[in-house]
A and B are shown apart, each in its own frame.
Chain A
Amino acid sequence: MVKSFISILVAVLITISLSVLEQTYVKNTFSEFKEIMVIVYEKIENDTATKEDVLSAQKYWINKKEKLHIFIPHNDIKEIDLWLAESTTLVENDKKEDALSKIDVVIELIEQIPKIYSLRIENLL
């Protein structure tokens, strides 16, 4: 009986701690990344963006996504990779309007992905 109680307690504690870690890490990472992408978006809008700006955003993302792979299905992460890579090429080729629309998609994905994995009733049912 005592062994059962302890095992339940340990398993529940592991689940709760990992859940808190996951929720916090995913939320913080995506909110930081969103700030970076909004800056990139504004720079493109003001014609001050360079390829390096997008590349540094991409570098940040590559660094963070390694850990995000633990918590988020890889297909969702790949989606951001692809849009970001496309934006880099468009900025390099001075296709401002196209680049803006791609960055817009990246920002939208950054907003939506954490919502899919957050603790909400619509995600439970």
Chain B
Amino acid sequence: MAIIFLRSAIIFIVLLIIMRFMGKRQIGEMQPFELVVTLVISELACIPMSDVSIPLIYGISAILSIFVFHQIFTLIEQSGRFLKFIVSGKPSLIINKRGIDFKELKNNNLDVSDLMESLRGLGYYSLDNVKYAIYESNGTLTAIADENKSKLEMSILIVKDAKPIINNLNILNCNFYEIQSFLKKQGLKPEKVGILTIDGAGNYYAQEYGKPYKTGIFPLKAGVKW
């Protein structure tokens, strides 16, 4: 039992470290250590249940160990901000008044399409409708709407990390050269554009790395709509 306890401790700590490094994309509404508990405990319960050659006490002692670690990490989390940061990470402000914080996004192993997907889940279909967005330490996204801008047009991603999304360009019925020249006209360097989205009414949202976002109107071709 002592071996199982110590082995469980090793696996628990290693899994927790890996989960913390994987960033918020892997979590989803749980703290990292809670996810580790969920991942491990079902297997621990199943193996001795289904394999009669393994004594039941192996499963029971391992589950007991996981319970101890869960309680310890809950106490650590409650004991102070620094320890909470070590165990569960900290919330990340992904969208601020300047637009998307690409560095924070990368730190959490996320990209702009993940961000747009999460925002759509919250009912925000265009990035400039959002004033602030925070990825909580449990992986959920919290957003504050920009009350001055409440459009219900659906934005599509045209440029991501300075690369075009070909399928979406086809929807716009234009090629990347046209997009590049449009970006240049707006004073943006296409090779530094982290994101360009255009909605059904032709409103664009573009942002270069490390610079504030820009919005405006993109001249949609006749007959283009979605």
Contacts and interface: CB of A to CB of B under 8 A. Distances in A.
B198 to A, nearest CB: 52
Contact of A8 (B3, B72, B78): B72
Contacts of A73: 53-55, 58
B113 interface: no
A124 B7 contact: yes
Contact of A18 (B61, B71, B72): B61
Given A22-B1, A119-B3, A11 B55 contact: no
B5 interface: yes
Contacts of B75: 1, 4-5, 8
Given A1-B75, A4-B74, A11-B67, A69 B55 contact: yes
Interface in B37-52: 52
Contacts of B1: 15, 18-19, 22, 71
Interface in B49-79: 52-55, 57-58, 61, 64-65, 67-68, 71-72, 74-75, 78
A11 B71 CA distance: 10
B68 A12 contact: yes
Given A4-B75, A8-B72, A15 B5 contact: yes
Contacts of B54: 73-74
Interface in A38-95: 69-75
B1 to A, nearest CB: 4
13 contacts: A4-B75, A7-B67, A8-B72, A16-B2, A18-B57, A22-B1, A23-B2, A71-B55, A73-B53, A117-B3, A119-B3, A124-B3, A124-B10
Interface of B: 1-3, 5-7, 10, 52-55, 57-58, 61, 64-65, 67-68, 71-72, 74-75, 78
